[in-house]
Amino acid sequence: MKSYISYLAIVLVSSTFLAAQPQHPIRQVQDSLVSVHLKRTVKLTLLIPDVTAGSTERYPLLLVHDGQDFPALHLRESVAELLTEQNLPPLVVVGVHANQDRLNEYGTAHQPDYANRGNKARNHTLFVLDELLHYLEAKYPVKNTAVDRAVAGFSLGGLMALDLAWNHADAFSKVGVFSGALWWRRRAFDKDYQDSDRIMHRQIREASVRPDLKFWFQVGTHDETEDRDGDGVIDSIDDTLDCIAELERKGYRWGKDIQYVEVEGGEHNPKTWGRVMPEFIKWVFK
């Protein structure tokens, strides 16, 4: 009888402990920031470690473009699983919501494309550097050093993330480019276009410095169907591998400084990106 009572007490204590645990080891918070540079209110979705009140600990930061897609990416669930089942250190993930002006706010800061898309990419860069990072450091438990910060994005947001990190390695040390819009070009196909017209590739090629960065590139084999050079490889893959080649010419090493993930059957959508986000987050922070 005594042993049974002791066993019952243990079960009751264990059950109470488990019931007290949060459903997710992170909190999801909605916030917003009025931007002078973008002349609009920018919505933010944050995933923050659910820690003891009064804690002064600060955590690494992952900044993600197109934060409005967090539900479609199942990002909260993925981060929670990484924290609980794979012993990933706590981190803060911040999603910056795009709006109807996305085609102008995302791009390359120094030059819009041939159709003048991305003409506010410089404003977005200034928003991140001058406004957003300072706001996050003041209000949330994030670290403020480049080695503890990464930036990522999808499609055009991936191009913006790469441009941001490439030009500001003092703010970010790692970048994730998912199905990046690396076709971004200064000349239309019907205006004597050449591969040398790709803006991000050209920027890397002509750079006089080699930023201290690490790169993650993801592309799906069904990202698109276009194959402008007729080599049997879709443009998304060609543009990504050509960008990696430019980085290698700068001295970055495949498999060490550069990670490339090609998803068989992967498409240009959050479903595919969400599947590989956990691997990216582990690459960044583990």
Residue-wise pLDDT for 229-247, tens only, equals 788 889 999 999 999 999 9
| Confidence at residue 55, expressed as pLDDT on a 0 to 100 scale | 74
Other CB atoms closer than 10 Å to residue 122's CB: what's the count?
18
Can you tell me whether residue 93 is helix, strand or coil? strand
Domains and CATH numbers, the chain: 26-285 (3.40.50.1820)
Q: Is residue 15 over pLDDT 70?
A: no
- Tens digit of pLDDT for each residue in 149-202? 999 999 999 999 999 999 999 999 999 999 999 999 999 877 788 888 899 999
pLDDT band (50, 70, 90) for residue 7: very low
- On whether the CB atoms of residues 124 and 112 are closer than 8 A, the answer is no
| Confidence at residue 54, expressed as pLDDT on a 0 to 100 scale | 59
Q: Is residue 53 over pLDDT 70?
A: no
- Tens digit of pLDDT for each residue in 105-149? 999 999 999 999 999 999 999 999 999 999 999 999 999 999 999
| Confidence at residue 230, expressed as pLDDT on a 0 to 100 scale | 81
Joined tokens for residue 196: 């040398």
pLDDT band (50, 70, 90) for residue 2: very low
